[in-house]
Structure 1
Amino acid sequence: MLLEVKCYATLARFQPKENEYHLGPKPMLRDLIVFLGIPEGEVKISFANGVIVGPEYELQEGDRVGLFPAVGGG
């Protein structure tokens, strides 16, 4: 499955170098997060094709995925 994945801020260390993923049939976003080795709970906001999605989102060929950690400021 071809996906465009971007990991932001502290998740940048998990940024994949490739765009092709072997996640099995009907993969969900949570499968991608596990595949990338991101610890459970570190992804706080996720997007697919510019729309906020949850871990149950079923990935589609060609999706553009953005993964964000919790961010603070003040």
Structure 2
Amino acid sequence: MRLKVKLFASLTRFAPGGQSAGIAFEMDVPEGASLADVAELLRLPAEEIKIAYVNARAQQLDWQLQDDDEIGYFPPVGGG
């Protein structure tokens, strides 16, 4: 199945092709994949994922994805 994926802030370093933060790229994943499976395929460190969303709604990493979902991952954010 095909997904639209967005990575934000420090997670953009894992985007294929050097995409900028918040710019979607498409990705093919096996049927029945979860948010955790996609994170693993992208080699996102689990400790660097604070929030994941599917179609603009925050979801747990075990959420099962559907074809054409738009997903995104945010790291913990710090500030000064």
Question: 2:41 is matched with which residue: 27, 35, 38?
Answer: 35
Tell me which moved more, 13-22 or 52-61.
Answer: 13-22
- Name the count of aligned residue pairs: 73
Percent identity for Structure 1 against Structure 2: 37
Q: 2:16 aligned with 1:10, yes or no?
A: no
The structure whose residues are more often helix, as a share, is 2
1:33-72 mapped onto 2 (5 Å cutoff) = 33-72=39-78
Counterpart residue number, 2:20: none
| TM-score of the aligned structures, taking structure 2 as reference length | 0.81
Contact map agreement 2:5 2:27 (CA 8 A) in 1: no
Distance 1:38 1:65 in 2: 14
Q: State the TM-score, normalizing by the size of structure 1.
A: 0.87
* Farther off after superposition, 37-46 or 27-36: 37-46
Q: In structure 1, what residue type is equivalent to 2:12?
A: A
How far residue 25 of structure 1 moved from its aligned partner, in angstroms, is 3.5
Q: Which runs of 5+ in 2 are unaligned?
A: 18-24
Deviations 1:40-69 (A, max 9, x none): 221100111000001010011011111000
